[in-house]
Structure 1
Amino acid sequence: MTLHAAPALTHPAYEIMNPEAPGPWVVTCDHASNAVPDWIAGGDLGLPPWDMARHIAYDVGAAGLARVLARHLESPAILARFSRLVIDPNRGEDDPTLVMRLYDGSVIPANRRLGPAEVGARLDRLYRPYHGAVETLLDGRRDPAILAVHSFTPQLKGRAPRPWQVAVLHSHLDQRLARPVLERLGRESDLCVGDNEPYSGHLPGDSVDRHALRRGRLNVLVELRNDLIATPEDQEAWAARLAPLLAASLLDARRTDHG
């Protein structure tokens, strides 16, 4: 396994795993990390450790799953190395939730009075380098398909439990790959599968919109409920189950795409 980190920064914005791998995918993980660079409020957003360890700070288990899926699919992966609470790489630059002040019942003290200069620094040092690296990785490959890996929490505060074990999020603008993935997952009798659940997969300006929809690239966003991928063993098991299904779905999508 080869890892490449972003150069010339005290806190690299991303890491790339297996950049030369021959597979047809690029695996992305926007919410891989709960890290806060030391140049932001001394590396502390003012939240207690238990808050930084839950889904508001990152997608629990998603980084490990993304790495194992990339290995199974013999494809590169790129993972962000900063918390979504610092700045959310899965939001457009003009999205009001780009930097969250309040999330699932927790106020983020270091973000409460954030000014344009501070947001601009986070964009320039973290958000834009990450997205630039994603695009460079994609542009360097022939007809890549994007596999965006995320996880979701079993229950938000004050909300009903979420029954889905795995979810496929997609935009109405391009369902070429999502539909075959959903069809195959639907044949798995032991799974409760979310189709654009627990939330919609279309968000203008998000990572899929930016790197896939605007460029016509095949794409699918897969989310696992985070209690199911909490350990390396769980991540290995799910990756082993999902990788053949994803590979077969990509073949289906390309057959249909090419008539």
Structure 2
Amino acid sequence: MSLAPYHIVNPEGTARWVLLCDHASNRVPEEVGGTLGLSQADMARHIAWDPGTAGVTRELSRLMDAPAVLSNFSRLVIDPNRGEDDPTLLMKLYDGTIIPGNRHADAAERARRLALFHRPYHAAVTDLLSRRTAPVLVSIHSFTPQLRGREPRPWEVGVLFSHDRRLSDPLIAWLKKEGDIFVGVNEPYSGHLPGDTMDRHALGPGRLHALIELRNDLISTEEAQSRWAARLAPLLTAALEDAEIARNG
């Protein structure tokens, strides 16, 4: 394989936090041809990755002394934030754009990409979590300000969750206390997606967790990524303290 399908940053970090960045990269590995037939402009769009999230995740890792696992392949190669049986695992059309390199991908190609990229990424997450005591997961994503033909998305930060809101609720409360952040509660998506990363590594094992969505126009520069990481770090810390107080009664 040309390059590993993931990066691990600060693996010996001492915090309970474990950071995940499922859509950190828009790279198309050599094993898939190095291209999916899209223009550079399309590969720079949100359809291929979550712009800005790698920088935010790396800076959070530094500020919080937390290990982080970042993907090293485009979500269009195969989406690590989908279960293996999810119909959107290997996208052939996304936000109005046909993906030429996926147009004729069959079950065998899907299985090959699962083996090369999707499963190694999740194995790395599983291994890292298995070596830590009571880890708390935070997954960092970004969203486009407007999908084609849809209404603009006004939220600046979204917190997504399913049935376990132990960390999400206090995080939402702390974000709202800032007073100048338009917070989306399960926006712009629902946090319930069976088989996705948080379902697999947090909900299933019962771990404290939160999924944060940042609007990608707000984290388009390194400076902005650092600024948002610096803002999120103390809010996450405060939210975890509240969650632990609630748990211990």
* TM superposition score category, shorter chain reference: over 0.9
Tell me which residue corresponds to 1:43: 34
Among 86, 97, 108, the residue aligned to 1:106? 97
Q: Find 1:231's aligned residue among 208, 221, 226.
A: 221
1:85 corresponds, among 76, 89, 93, to 76
Aligned to 2:108: 117
Which of 239, 249, 252 is residue 239 of structure 2 equivalent to?
249
2:141 counterpart residue number:
150
1:185 correspondence with 2:175: yes
Question: Quick one: which amino acid aligns to residue 84 of structure 2?
Answer: E
What is the one-letter code of the residue matched to 1:141? R
Displacement of 1:180 after TM fit?
0.2
Q: Work out whether 1:221 is the aligned partner of 2:211.
A: yes
Report the Cα offset of residue 11 of structure 1.
2.3
In the other structure, the counterpart of 2:9 is: 17
| Structure 2 residues without counterparts, runs of 5 or longer | none
1:27-42 aligned within 5 A: 27-40=19-32, 42=33
How many equivalent residue pairs? 249
Helix, strand or coil at the partner of 1:39: helix
Partner deviation per Cα, 1:122-144 (whole Å, 9 max, x = no partner): 00010000000001101110000
Q: Secondary structure at the match of 1:16?
A: strand
Query: Which string of whole-angstrom CA distances, capped at 9 and with x for unpartnered residues, describes residues 192-216 of structure 1?
Result: 1000001101100000000000000
- CA RMSD of superposed structures (Å): 0.7
Q: Residues of 2 paired with 1:11 and 1:22: CA distance?
A: 27
TM-score in terms of structure 1 length: 0.95
**CA distance, structure 1, for counterparts of residue 35 and residue 21 of structure 2:** 22
Distance 1:97 1:258 in 2: 40
Q: How does 1:139-218 map to 2 (within 5 A)?
A: 139-171=130-162, 173-218=163-208
Q: Quote the Cα distance in structure 1 between the aligned partners of 2:172 and 2:218.
A: 19
Structure 2 counterpart SS, 1:212: helix
Percent identity of equivalent pairs = 59
1:110 is paired with a residue of what secondary structure?
helix
Task: Kindly state the Cα deviation for residue 165 of structure 1 after the two structures are TM-superposed.
Answer: 0.6
Q: Deviations over 1:232-254 (max 9, x none)?
A: 10011111111001011011112
181-190 vs 28-37, which moves further? 181-190
Q: How far, CA to CA, are the matches of 1:51 and 1:84 in structure 2?
A: 13
Letter in 2 for 1:175: R
- Give the AA of the match of 2:28: V
Query: Could you give the per-residue CA deviations for residues 30-85 of structure 1, whole angstroms, max 9, x where no partner exists?
Result: 00000001111x21101111000010000000010011111111100000000000
User: Which amino acid counterpart does residue 169 of structure 1 have in structure 2?
Assistant: L
Q: 1-side partners of 2:137 and 2:248: how far apart?
A: 18
Structure 1 residues not aligned, in runs of 5+: 1-8
TM-score (norm 2): 0.99
Q: What is the CA–CA distance in structure 1 between the aligned matches of 2:248 and 2:83, rounded to whole Å?
A: 31
Runs of 4+ more than 4 Å apart: none
Q: For residues 15 and 117 of structure 1, what CA distance do their matches in structure 2 show? A: 26
